[in-house]
Structure 1
Amino acid sequence: MFRYLLLALFLCATVPLVPHFLSGDGALFLSGSGERPVRDERARDDERETEGEKAFRIGRSRNGHYVLDVIINGQPVEMLVDTGASTVALPESVAEEAGIILQSSAYTVPVRTANGETSAAATRIDDLRIGPIRLRDVEAMVIRDQSLGTPLFGMSALNMLRRFDFSDDTLLLVQ
């Protein structure tokens, strides 16, 4: 008799929860109001925001590099993650599209690129966004197009993050 009483109590406690398990959420949510949580359909698997922490994940490309789609001053830019670059480096044409216009006389900083030695212009990027991550006042160099073909996401931006981690062919950026 005691077993039947325990079984009845167990069923009374669990039967109201069955709809939550059958809803396909894969999770159980209990709230005092009885409302179901609303999922943000715009959220992507490679982005997440937790309490006080913003994170972005990206997989390694076929050629073995990590390529980020960023927004610089409102302009979309594809950048190659380069831990060997001390700063963010932008080709002159990309910088101009992002509203960074420099005088010819600003190209005074000697730099070495894969294409050899050249002069760059030191500048700052007002606003740089990667998914939910937003960086402001990022140190950067602008290099003439013939010396730099691909924008580089260098250490001046990476060091502004709380952390970054390369593992299992994935780059994790955390702010």
Structure 2
Amino acid sequence: MLQAAYDLPEDLIMLARAFIILGIAAAAAIELPQYLTKVAPAPVENADAAVQDEPSVQKANASTRPGHARIAADAQGHFKARFKLNGKPVDGLIDTGATLIAFNQSTARRLGFNSASLDFKYPINTANGKTLAAYVKLATIEIGDVRVRDVDAFVMKDQALSGTLVGMSFLKRLSSYTVADGALEMKF
């Protein structure tokens, strides 16, 4: 009888250990897929389409038909790709909430715009508040087999914008753009 009294706590300890291990396994089963979704690169339809120096930005997959391009959404559902602005490669994010294409002064200099000639006089509202922008016109913007000429754009101070937003001044010049099956299809 005395022996049975000592076995009971040992059985409880083993049972508690089993519940702890089971709890850790359950938490891992729930959290691991979410973690992998955050750290895994976005699927790319074509292995050659991945940009080598920045995995979060893709080259557009050109269709066999001229004037088409396709961008797969990243893990957050954003459409990021490498565009050519005035013939120079620029990583951009499609933003249907942006009226014009917008990029910062550093990018503007790379594209051939003289900083001294930029007139920051246009008040604009951004997600980060109000700021001033300079109006410019891009000679060309290209992605995949899509090429649009004479596109309106805004240049913002470097501290006001870190990336490039490809807005409606580009998208409205296309014959169509659609989102289906996790990809943005553009036709010119």
Tell whether the structures are fold-level matches, with TM greater than 0.5.
Answer: yes
CA 1:118–1:165 in 2, change beyond 3 Å: closer, same or farther? same
Equivalent residue, structure 2, for 1:161: 174
Q: Which moved more, 1:100-109 or 1:114-123?
A: 100-109
* Map 1:112-127 → 2, pairs under 5 A: 112-127=125-140
Following superposition, the deviation at residue 48 of structure 1 comes to 1.6
For the Cα contact (< 8 Å) 2:60–2:143, is it kept in 1? no
Residue-by-residue CA offset, 1:20-64 (whole Å, 9 max, x unaligned):
xxxxxxxxxxxxxxxxxxxxxx999921242xx511011101122
| 1:47 to 2:45 alignment | no
Pick the aligned partner of 1:70 from 55, 61, 83. Answer: 83
Following superposition, the deviation at residue 169 of structure 1 comes to 0.8
Q: Which moved more, 1:119-128 or 1:94-103?
A: 94-103
Following superposition, the deviation at residue 160 of structure 1 comes to 0.7
Equivalent residue, structure 2, for 1:27: none
Following superposition, the deviation at residue 168 of structure 1 comes to 1.5
Equivalent residue, structure 1, for 2:144: 131
Equivalent residue, structure 2, for 1:94: 107
Following superposition, the deviation at residue 174 of structure 1 comes to 0.4
Gaps of 5+ in 2: 1-47, 50-58
The structure with more helix, counted as a fraction of residues: 2
How high is the TM-score relative to the length of structure 1? 0.70
For the Cα contact (< 8 Å) 2:177–2:186, is it kept in 1? yes
One-letter amino acid of the counterpart of residue 114, structure 2: I
1:97 and 1:45 map into 2 onto residues whose CA distance is 22
| 1:106 to 2:119 alignment | yes
For the Cα contact (< 8 Å) 1:102–1:121, is it kept in 2? no
CA 1:161–1:105 in 2, change beyond 3 Å: closer, same or farther? closer
Following superposition, the deviation at residue 112 of structure 1 comes to 1.2
Gaps of 5+ in 1: 1-41
Considering only aligned residues, what root-mean-square deviation do their CA atoms show, in Å? 2.0
For the Cα contact (< 8 Å) 2:151–2:170, is it kept in 1? yes
* Map 1:27-38 → 2, pairs under 5 A: none
Alignment identity in percent? Answer: 35
For the Cα contact (< 8 Å) 2:62–2:69, is it kept in 1? yes
CA 1:90–1:45 in 2, change beyond 3 Å: closer, same or farther? closer
How high is the TM-score relative to the length of structure 2? 0.65
| 1:146 to 2:163 alignment | no
